[in-house]
Amino acid sequence: MSFLALRVNKIHFLLAALLSGINIFLILTIAPQNQLQPDFGNIFYIHVPVAWTAFIGYLLVMIFSILFLWKQGQTWDHFALASAEAGTMFMFLVLITGPIWAKPAWGHFWVWEPRLTTSLVLFLIFLGYFMLREFGGNPEQVSRYAAVLGIIAFLDVPLIFLSVKLWLPELQSHPQVGQYFENTGIMPVLMINYSFLSLLVVISFMIRFRVHNLKSRETHKII
């Protein structure tokens, strides 16, 4: 059965599309601009929520991996893999939107400062996660090894958040949301939070859709 054949899945898809469309419209029309970067500043309304959504995806990887190791249910492994794929897609967008903002702000597309570096490390860890999944050999062993790696990899997420406090100030280049939109009122915070909520609906749809495909593929193998 097609995933969108179920009414609840159609509603989920339409809701994700509607909220995303509204989000883009608001960013392009009423979102306050950063006066220092009027041309590229609004990408922050995308960059920050996309990063938070990626972290949620990786949090789900850790949770589903723990459940898989504990309960040994293949469904948990499917959810872990789907969450890893979705989270990494969003992290890729983080690594794309960041340099777009950084070039006019810093004069370079990339600066090896703590938050950017730890984000890149997380992305590379999950590329290794997918390589393990694809080329690791025995599927049952691979699922267990991937679960362990997914749990360990999540430790980099709090490190990314804390990087601005753990490293010396002179090593920091990454702006904070509150600093970036000073003197613009509460609207930027509301916009970023709305964008984040809309992306949560999107990533939840992505994960459910991917799990459906993984289960269908497994069923066809059994048949």
How far apart are alpha carbons 102 and 200 in whole angstroms? 25
pLDDT at 180: 53
How many CB atoms lie under 10 A from the CB of residue 91? Answer: 22
How far apart are alpha carbons 107 and 14 in whole angstroms? 40
User: In this prediction, what percent of the chain has a pLDDT beyond 70?
Assistant: 83
Lowest mean pLDDT among 19-23, 72-76, 97-101, 166-170: 166-170
Residue 22 has which token pair? 């509204």
Higher pLDDT, 164 or 148: 148
Query: What confidence tier does 129 reach under pLDDT thresholds 50, 70, 90?
Result: very high
**Amino acid at residue number 5:** A
How far apart are alpha carbons 103 and 187 in whole angstroms? 25
pTM here? 0.88
How far apart are alpha carbons 117 and 115 in whole angstroms? 5
Biggest CA pair distance of the chain? 62
> Would you say residue 206 lies in a domain?
yes
| Domain boundaries, position 86 | 43-222
How far apart are alpha carbons 156 and 164 in whole angstroms? 14
Query: For the chain, how far is it from start to end, CA to CA, in angstroms?
Result: 15
Sign of CA dihedral 164, 169, 171, 173: positive
How far apart are alpha carbons 120 and 28 in whole angstroms? 28
User: In this prediction, what percent of the chain has a pLDDT beyond 90?
Assistant: 55
CB 80 within 8 A of CB 150: yes
> Would you say residue 22 lies in a domain?
no
pLDDT at 111: 78
CB 47 within 8 A of CB 101: yes
> Would you say residue 7 lies in a domain?
no
> Would you say residue 13 lies in a domain?
no
> Would you say residue 201 lies in a domain?
yes
CB 222 within 8 A of CB 74: no
> Would you say residue 27 lies in a domain?
no
**Amino acid at residue number 200:** L
Mean pLDDT for 53-74 is 96
> Would you say residue 156 lies in a domain?
yes
Sign of CA dihedral 211, 214, 121, 66: positive
Q: Is 182 helix (H, G, I), strand (E, B) or coil?
A: coil
Residue 133 has which token pair? 């999944």
The CA distances from residue 5 to 13, 202, 214, in Å, are 11, 18, 17
pLDDT, averaged across the chain: 86
- Domains in the chain, number: 1
> Would you say residue 50 lies in a domain?
yes
